[in-house]
Amino acid sequence: MLSVADLVVRYGQITALDRVSILVREGEAVGVVGPNGAGKSSLLAAITGIVKAADGRVTFLDQPILGEVPEELVRRGISLVPEGRRIFGPLSVAENLQLGATTSRKGGRKAPTVDEMLDRFPALRALYKRQAGSLSGGEQQMLAIARALMSGPRLLLLDEPSLGLAPLVVDTVFELLEDLRKEGTTILLVEQNALRTVEFCDRTYVLRTGDVVMTGTREELLAQEDFSATFLGM
Amino acid sequence: MTVEAVISGSETAQSAINALQLGSLYALFALGVALIFGIMRLVNFAHGEFIMLGALVLVYVTDWPLAAKIVVTLLAVVAIALLSERIVFRPLRGVSPVTLLVASFALSIGLQSAALLIVGVRPQGATVSKSLNTFWQVGSVSISKLSIVTIVVTVILLVGLVAFLSRHRVGVMMRAAAVDFTMTRLVGVRANLVIGTAFGISGLLAGVASILIVAQNGTFTVEMGLVPVLFGFIASVVGGLGSLQGAVLGGYILGGASTALQIGLPLELKPFRDAFLFGAVLVFMVFRPGGLYIARSERTRV
């Protein structure tokens, strides 16, 4: 569904991604883990059109998408839950959700209504009229995911969704992702929480300083001493 | 009541109306600047030229019926603002704010030169409506119709803008874009729609300002855009760049302060009123460098 080939991203002299290739098949949940500065966020930024790639090819549903503007990618079915949530704080929860539905009538996909979304996130229903910035961190993360789902995406990208959340809330996030996967949403999950990611995803790529250094299924990665030593402290 | 008390009372009323009229104009200038800045981080110095070109249109249609004059002027200025965005600023999407600033200066000079080629350096006369320059006599206070029209028109525009931003789909997009432009695009909002609308509204505000200024002065000069953009910029800085409430408040504060100085300064210092005004702004900025409203996006963005 999503194919990233030899992707290069540079910021001035610094190379953030050096010929990274990643494949996400329809219906899969794919993880990308790695320490700070490994290039995880740059990968998502390049896929979503926020930063320009210096080289490489990215295709989505067999169409090249490198160089497209972010709004066009949403229209085609890619939706991002960004790092730090980036909800529109001064706007109401309702307005945040409505903005998420901007492209819902385009692209021929079936997008959920606000009401259906509130059924999925009952906590947000009570907060519907509240200013989004006044929500707790966990509630904001739920809102960010709900907002991303409003466009009815085929591929959901998540950048560090568990960052800064209480363990109980992290559980909720992963339960939600499990539901989405069962419903057929393809997921690309970028995380520092390596163990959770590897356990959740069908396959996981390990990035380090702009390179893919390991890749495999949860069994393959957990069996590798290298991986356990680096990421799990075992 | 003594005669002196009546006179000073009517003077106070007169000054209050003057301050509100001036403040309304400054608020209109400031809103046009702040609207674009909030979304693009661009201080559009060509905003003054939008106002100047509106006045130029009025020179040409000065003999038309009032309604036609107003409609043609507003349409022309909105079109100029939209074209400026399309031709100058859209190709520069994503460049640094400094580059945008220089581009806006270039556009400003370009538009001024174009006007100079069309009409030359001599001031031109234009009228909006003669009846606007008549007065209502209320007791000992004479109120110019124009001052009331200016205040009322501004309030209507403010209410309309608030309604648009809070209720309309595109208005909500614009508020989101002012918080986090990239994220707004990442939920699927077209950047061109939001920026185009911002320039359209900014052009509308500039067009209204042209009409009100010409109604007051009755003249057009090529440099007439400078003062509006300067006061608009200062008012929006005082209010807090990027905040629309701040821009309006800044405009009225500036209008009030200017009127107060006009009354309070000794006769021999009155010619230097603006110097005192800008000095006061400078002192204010030392104590509150972010302005009155520090835009949320500046405060919370990590």
Specify the residue for token string 């006045």.
Answer: B55
Find the closest chain B residue to A44 by CA distance.
B186
- Nearest by CB: B172 against A74, A75, A91: A91
Rounded Cα distance, B28 and B208, in Å: 8
- Nearest by CB: B185 against A69, A84, A100: A69
Rounded Cα distance, B177 and A83, in Å: 18
**B288 contacts chain A (CB < 8 A):** no
Instruction: Tell me what pLDDT residue A105 has.
Output: 62
**Chain B residues with CB inside 8 Å of A100's CB?**
187-188
Q: Which amino acid is at A52?
A: K
All residue ranges of chain A with pLDDT < 50 are: none
A30 contacts A203 by C-beta, under 8 angstroms: yes
pTM of the model: 0.89
Distance between A219 CA and the closest CA of chain B, angstroms: 34
> For residue B189, what are its two tokens?
């909002």
Distance between A142 CA and the closest CA of chain B, angstroms: 15
**Chain A residues with CB inside 8 Å of B188's CB?**
71, 74-75, 100, 102-103, 151
Where are any strands of DSSP class E within chain B?
124-125, 135-138, 141-144, 219-220
Closest CA to B103 of B44, B51, B48: B44
Residues of A with CB under 8 A from a CB of B: 48, 50, 69-71, 74-75, 79-80, 82, 84, 86, 88-91, 95, 98-100, 102-103, 133, 147-148, 150-151
Specify the residue for token string 């920026």.
Answer: B195
Instruction: Tell me what pLDDT residue B299 has.
Output: 47
Q: Give pLDDT tens digits along chain B (302 positions).
A: 566 666 677 778 888 999 999 999 999 999 999 999 999 989 999 999 999 999 999 999 999 999 999 999 999 999 999 999 999 999 998 888 899 999 999 999 999 999 999 998 888 888 888 888 888 888 878 889 999 999 999 999 999 999 999 999 999 999 999 999 999 999 999 999 999 999 999 999 999 999 999 999 999 999 999 999 999 999 999 999 878 999 999 999 999 999 999 999 999 999 999 999 999 999 999 999 888 887 554 444 33
Rounded Cα distance, B76 and A220, in Å: 67
Bridge partner list, A58: A4
Instruction: Tell me what pLDDT residue A111 has.
Output: 80
The C-alpha angle B206, B211, B217, rounded to 5 degrees, equals: 115
Instruction: Tell me what pLDDT residue B252 has.
Output: 96
Find the closest chain B residue to A52 by CA distance.
B94
Closest CA to A22 of A121, A157, A130: A157
Instruction: Tell me what pLDDT residue B301 has.
Output: 38
Rounded Cα distance, A120 and A65, in Å: 31
Instruction: Tell me what pLDDT residue B295 has.
Output: 54
> Could you tell me how many residues make up chain B?
302
**Chain A residues with CB inside 8 Å of B185's CB?**
69-71
Rounded Cα distance, B199 and B47, in Å: 10
The string of pLDDT tens digits covering residues B176-220 is 999 999 999 999 999 999 999 999 999 999 999 999 999 999 999
Buried b (16+ CB within 10 A) or exposed e, A144-172: bbbbbbbbbbbbbbbbbbbeebeeebbee
Find the closest chain A residue to B165 by CA distance.
A91
Cβ separation of B302 and A71 shorter than 8 Å? Answer: no
For an interface test with B, which of A52, A78, A83, A88 has the most B Cβ atoms less than 10 Å from its Cβ?
A88
Rounded Cα distance, B36 and B194, in Å: 10
> For residue A173, what are its two tokens?
């996030």
**B188 contacts chain A (CB < 8 A):** yes
Is the backbone of residue A53 left (phi > 0), alpha (psi -120 to 50) or beta?
Answer: beta
